[in-house]
Amino acid sequence: MADKQYLKEKSKGGTGDKASVRVDKKHEFLEKSLKKTKEELKASEERFKNIIEKNADGIIVIDSDGVVHFINPASEALFGLEKKKILGKSFGLPIVEGESSEMTVVHSDGEILWVELRVVESKWEDKSVSLVSVRDITRRKRAEEQLIHNAFHSELTDLPNRALFMDRLGQFCERMEPNEDSSFALLFVDIDRFKVINDSIGLTAGNKVLVTVAKMLESCLSKVDTIAHFGGDEFAILMENIKDLGGVMQVVNRIQSNLVSPVKVDSHEVYVSMSIGIRFGDSHSYDPQALVRDAENAMHRIKEKGGGAYQIFDQEMHTRAVNNVQLELEIRRAIEREEFLVYYQPIVSLSERRITGFEALIRWQHPERGIVSPGEFLPIVNEIGMIIPVCEISLRAACRQNRIWNSIGLPPIYASVNISAVQFSQNDFADSVARILKDTGLDPGLLVLELVEDSLIEDVEANLKILHEVREMGIRISIDDFGTGYSSLSYLKRFPLNTIKIDRSFVMELPDDSEIVSAIITMGKSLKLKVLAEGVETQEQLNFLYNFGCDEIQGYLFSRPIPAEEFTELLHKSDSLLSMIPTGDK
Ligand code: C2E
Ligand code: MG
Ligand code: MG
The whole-number pLDDT of residue 320 equals 72
- Reported confidence tier of residue 11, pLDDT bands at 50, 70, 90: very low
Residue 47: count of CB within 10 angstroms of its CB: 10
Interval between CA 359 and ligand 2 midpoint (Å)? 7
- Reported confidence tier of residue 490, pLDDT bands at 50, 70, 90: low
Ligand 1 atom with the smallest distance to the CA of 342 is 41
Interval between CA 199 and ligand 2 midpoint (Å)? 26
- The C-alpha torsion from 557 through 563 and 568 to 573, rounded to 10°, is -30
CA distances from 421 to 45, 269, 341, 424, 495 (A): 79, 28, 21, 5, 15
Top mutation candidate among 343, 361, 577 for ligand 1, by most atoms within 8 Å of CB: 361
- Reported confidence tier of residue 123, pLDDT bands at 50, 70, 90: confident
Interval between CA 482 and ligand 3 midpoint (Å)? 8
HSE toward the beta carbon, residue 534, CA cutoff 13 A: 21
Residues touching ligand 1 (Cβ under 6 Å) are: 345, 360-362, 373-375, 378, 391, 394, 418-420, 450, 480-481, 504, 534-537, 554-556, 561
CA nearest to 510, candidates 557, 476, 446: 557
Query: Please, what is the average pLDDT of the chain?
Result: 88
CA distances from 178 to 168, 281, 285, 535 (A): 19, 12, 9, 55
Q: Lowest-confidence range among 194-203, 345-354, 454-463? A: 454-463
Q: Does position 578 have pLDDT exceeding 70, yes or no? A: yes
Print burial letters for 291-323: b (CB count within 10 Å at least 16), e (below 16).
bbbbbbbbbbbbbeeebbebbbbeeebeeeeee
Interval between CA 390 and ligand 2 midpoint (Å)? 15
Interval between CA 383 and ligand 2 midpoint (Å)? 20
CATH topology assigned to domain 55-140 = Beta-Lactamase (3.30.450)
The whole-number pLDDT of residue 571 equals 93
> Which one-letter amino acid corresponds to residue 493?
K
pLDDT in tens, 291-324: 999 999 999 989 888 889 999 998 777 777 777 7
The whole-number pLDDT of residue 181 equals 66
pLDDT in tens, 302-311: 988 888 999 9
Q: Does position 186 have pLDDT exceeding 90, yes or no? A: yes
| Shortest-distance Cα residue to atom 2 of ligand 1 | 418
The whole-number pLDDT of residue 221 equals 94
The whole-number pLDDT of residue 7 equals 42
| Shortest-distance Cα residue to atom 20 of ligand 1 | 535
| Shortest-distance Cα residue to atom 25 of ligand 1 | 361
Q: What is the pLDDT averaged over residues 538-562?
A: 96
The whole-number pLDDT of residue 253 equals 93
Q: State the Cα–Cα distance between residues 375 and 373, nearest whole angstrom.
A: 6
Positive/negative CA dihedral, 195, 197, 201, 207:
negative
Of the listed ligands, the closest to the CA of 554 is 1
Interval between CA 359 and ligand 3 midpoint (Å)? 10
CA nearest to 130, candidates 85, 99, 107: 99
395, 436 contact by CB (below 8 A) = yes
First to last CA, the chain: 131
532, 348 contact by CB (below 8 A) = no
The helix/strand/coil state of 489 is: helix
pLDDT in tens, 209-259: 999 999 999 999 998 899 999 999 999 999 998 888 888 999 999 999 998
Q: Lowest-confidence range among 64-78, 349-363, 467-481? A: 64-78
The whole-number pLDDT of residue 484 equals 79
Angle at 531 between CA 580 and CA 304, to 5 degrees: 105
pLDDT in tens, 368-383: 889 999 998 898 888 7
Residue 546: count of CB within 10 angstroms of its CB: 18
Interval between CA 450 and ligand 2 midpoint (Å)? 6
Of the listed ligands, the closest to the CA of 419 is 1
Ligand 1 atom with the smallest distance to the CA of 450 is 2
Of the listed ligands, the closest to the CA of 482 is 3
Top mutation candidate among 343, 393, 418 for ligand 1, by most atoms within 8 Å of CB: 418
The whole-number pLDDT of residue 565 equals 96
Q: State the Cα–Cα distance between residues 307 and 357, nearest whole angstrom.
A: 36
Interval between CA 534 and ligand 1 midpoint (Å)? 9
Say if strands 183-191 and 127-136 run parallel, antiparallel, or are unpaired: unpaired
> Which one-letter amino acid corresponds to residue 415?
A
The whole-number pLDDT of residue 27 equals 87
Q: State the Cα–Cα distance between residues 462 and 458, nearest whole angstrom.
A: 9
Q: Does position 4 have pLDDT exceeding 70, yes or no? A: no
| Shortest-distance Cα residue to atom 10 of ligand 1 | 561
Mark the residues whose beta carbon lies below 5 A from ion ligand 3: 480-481, 534
| Shortest-distance Cα residue to atom 13 of ligand 1 | 535
Class of domain 340-578: alpha beta
Domains 55-140 and 153-313 share a fold: no
Q: Does position 384 have pLDDT exceeding 50, yes or no? A: yes
The helix/strand/coil state of 124 is: strand
- What is the percent of the chain where pLDDT is above 90? 48
HSE toward the beta carbon, residue 210, CA cutoff 13 A: 26
Of the listed ligands, the closest to the CA of 375 is 1
Class of domain 153-313: alpha beta
554, 359 contact by CB (below 8 A) = yes
> pTM for this one?
0.58
Interval between CA 420 and ligand 2 midpoint (Å)? 10
Q: State the Cα–Cα distance between residues 388 and 365, nearest whole angstrom.
A: 19
Cis peptide before 563 (omega within 30 of 0): no
Domains of the chain, by residue range, sit at 55-140, 153-313, 340-578
The whole-number pLDDT of residue 180 equals 57
pLDDT in tens, 22-51: 778 888 888 898 999 999 989 888 888 888
The whole-number pLDDT of residue 178 equals 64
pLDDT in tens, 196-210: 888 888 899 999 999
pLDDT in tens, 468-478: 999 999 999 99
- Reported confidence tier of residue 574, pLDDT bands at 50, 70, 90: confident
The whole-number pLDDT of residue 331 equals 86
The whole-number pLDDT of residue 200 equals 84
Q: State the Cα–Cα distance between residues 252 and 235, nearest whole angstrom.
A: 13
Q: State the Cα–Cα distance between residues 503 and 165, nearest whole angstrom.
A: 42
The whole-number pLDDT of residue 486 equals 63
